């Protein structure tokens, strides 16, 4: 499988209107860009296949997902409509889970 390259997005990125994006807006734009970059590799262009999901996790989430025993089971858990692909909303559930885990970890370190 080809490795997806995601272009670097930095603070101050211009939005669609030509205005500078804030740090949070840039983070959201990055999440969306990563999804569609990997989703374009095989299968339907707006969904992640199992292979695309595994590649995304391997390249973009190696630290946050290192303790997940089975990516197949994780994908199945996220795939609410059981079509064996992840739509953006299903992928967003993963991002929410990871953000909650990160918040718990940061709260515990205070």
Task: Report if pTM > 0.85.
Answer: no
Picking from 50, 56, 55, the residue whose alpha carbon sits closest to that of residue 85 is: 50
Judge whether 53 and 37 are in contact, CB under 8 Å.
Answer: no
Indicate the pLDDT class of residue 8, thresholds 50, 70 and 90. very low
Mean pLDDT within 93-106: 95
Answer yes or no: is pLDDT of 88 > 60.
Answer: yes
Nearest residue to 23 via CA among 9, 5, 38, 36: 9
* Cα torsion angle, 57, 63, 68, 69, sign: positive
């Amino acid at each position: 499988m080809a490795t997806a390259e995601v272009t670097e997005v930095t603070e101050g990125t211009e939005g669609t209107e030509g205005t500078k994006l804030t740090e949070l807006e840039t983070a959201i734009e990055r999440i969306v860009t990563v999804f569609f970059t990997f989703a374009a590799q095989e299968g339907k262009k707006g969904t992640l296949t199992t292979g695309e999901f595994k590649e995304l996790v391997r390249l973009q989430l190696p630290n946050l997902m290192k303790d997940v025993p089975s990516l197949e089971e994780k994908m199945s858990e996220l795939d609410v409509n059981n079509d064996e692909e992840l739509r953006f909303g299903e992928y967003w559930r993963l991002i929410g889970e990871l953000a909650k885990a990160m918040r718990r970890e940061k709260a515990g370190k205070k």
